Amino acid sequence: MTLDDVYTRWANRRSEFERLGALVDGAKVIDAFLSDLESEREARESEVLSLRAAAVLSGYSADHLARLVRDGRIPNAGRKHAPKIRRADLPRKLGNALERSTKDAYDPVADARALLSRRGGR
């Protein structure tokens, strides 16, 4: 089940509840929803990636990842001469492109302060 499947399933369920005027036990509904999300998370973490795809996600080069697999520091999810890496086993390089994009997000408070300082603090 993908995230799109989870979304579609719960959107349909909501429509059905609304159509029927259903009164439901909120805790049971949330438990079912969380169970679907957990299943999707587990499926995503067990996804097997090529070294090239793993390199893009981790920020490390494919050669470095291959070396880590060869040295036994990352389990090989593929064959001996065709290594692959499970998404859950990926090392994360600090400061990779994905982290930088969220860190460098627009900060309206900092922008306002900069504008005030340029106008002489008025």
Q: 109-118: per-residue pLDDT in tens?
A: 777 777 777 7
Structure token digits, residue 11: 């959107």
Whether 75 contacts 91, CB under 8 Å: no
Element spanning 81, H or E: none
pLDDT value of position 121 = 58
The residue count of the chain comes to 122
Selection from 86, 74, 83 nearest residue 49 by Cα:
86
Condensed to tens digits (0 to 9), the pLDDT of residues 34-67 reads: 999 999 989 889 999 999 999 999 999 999 999 9
Structure token digits, residue 108: 């309206």
Rounded-to-integer distance, Cα 85 and Cα 56, Å: 12
pTM of the model: 0.58
Is pLDDT of 5 > 80? Answer: yes
Structure token digits, residue 117: 């300082």
**Averaged pLDDT, 10-23:** 92
